[in-house]
Amino acid sequence: MKENLKERDILLFGGMGIILLGVLLKTIEYKAGFWVYAIGLVAIIVARVRQYLNTKSENSRVFIPYLFSTVAFILAGYVMYTNKNYWIVFILLASVLDLYFSFRHK
pLDDT tens column, 7-60: 778 888 899 999 999 999 999 988 899 999 999 999 999 988 888 887 777 767
Query: pLDDT at residue 5 above 70?
Result: no
* Res. 101 pLDDT band, cuts 50 70 90: confident
| 61 compared with 86, residue with greater pLDDT | 86
Number of neighbouring beta carbons within 10 Å of residue 73:
26
Find out whether 70 and 45 touch, Cβ atoms under 8 Å: yes
- pLDDT score, position 66: 85
- pLDDT score, position 94: 92
Concatenated DSSP letters for 16-77?
HHHHHHHHHHHHTT-TTHHHHHHHHHHHHHHHHHHHHHTS-GGGGGGGHHHHHHHHHHHHHH
